[in-house]
Amino acid sequence: MSPLRRTVLKHPASAYLIVAFVAVCVTAAVHSPWALLLYLLPLLGAGYIARTATVIDEDGLQARAVLGHERVSWGELRGLRLASNGAVYAVSGDGSQLRLPCVRSTRLAPLIDAAGGRIPDPRADR
């Protein structure tokens, strides 16, 4: 296996357009100083978009959430589970599953390419 370059799979930058749209919509509802708290909604959305990611590096897969992170090392990883809703889970040796944010079953190529052969490529069967 070749050494891995750290790869971060994040939400697309265009997701911030939704945050901007929500901020504009909130502006119409702000009529008092207390209503300024409504601006926390787009700020929280921007924080979610900026923070959540799947990180692939030499140590394994890391799922970053808004508050904290979890990791599955390459030695513990037994495979991936694709849920019917499109979510992708990393399955470890003890059977626990870790949802990989920003990775969908229809877009597995960036994850598989970044793993450098540590995850089998289903496209190779074709």
Residue closest to 102 by CA, chosen among 7, 4, 3, 5: 7
Structure tokens at 87: 């979510």
Q: Is 43 inside any structural domain?
A: yes
The encoded tokens of residue 19 equal: 């945050």
In a domain, 64, yes or no: yes
pLDDT value, residue 32: 87
**How far is residue 90 from each of residues 9, 35, 52, 79, measured CA to CA in Å?**
15, 42, 16, 6
Domain that holds residue 57: 7-121
- 2 within domain boundaries: no
How do residues 56-104 score in pLDDT, each as one tens digit?
999 999 999 999 999 999 999 998 999 999 999 999 989 999 999 999 9
User: Can you give the pLDDT at residue 68?
Assistant: 94
Q: Tell me, what's the pLDDT at 53? A: 97
pLDDT tens track for 27-47: 988 888 888 899 999 999 999
CATH number of domain containing 45: 2.30.29.30
* pLDDT band, very low/low/confident/very high, at 2 (cuts 50, 70, 90): low
| pTM of structure | 0.83
pLDDT given for residue 124 in this prediction? 62
User: The tokens of 53 are what?
Assistant: 């990611």
Residue 1 confidence (pLDDT): 58
- pLDDT average, residue stretch 43-57: 96
Total number of domains constituting the chain:
1
Is there a domain that residue 1 lies in?
Answer: no
